Amino acid sequence: MKKSVLFLFLVNALILANPLWAGQQSEKGDRSWSILQSWDIPGKASGLAYDGTYLYFGIYGS
C-alpha cells in the first residue's frame, strides 16, 4: 500500500513538473545576451558604476 502511494505521488510530481521544464527550454533563446558596445578602461581601475546614462570608473590608491 505504501509503495503504491509513493509511486503515484512521484508520477504526479513528474507530470506536474514537466511544463516547468518545457518552459525553461523555450526561454533559453529569448534570454540571450548581446554585447553592443565596449570601452577601454585604464588597467588599474578598481571601481566601476553605471547610472543608465554614463559609465564611471575610478582608480584608487595609485
The tens digit of pLDDT for each residue in 35-61 reads 888 888 777 777 888 898 988 888 777
DSSP annotation of 12 reads H
Whole-number average pLDDT of the chain = 74
Q: What are phi and psi of 45, to 5 degrees?
A: -65, 130
Report residue 18's pLDDT band, with 50, 70 and 90 as the boundaries.
low
Can you tell me whether residue 27 is helix, strand or coil? helix
Give the domain range for residue 26.
1-59
- What pLDDT was estimated at residue 5? 80
Q: Please give the tally of structural domains in the chain.
A: 1
For CA atoms 34, 37, 42, 46, give the dihedral sign.
negative
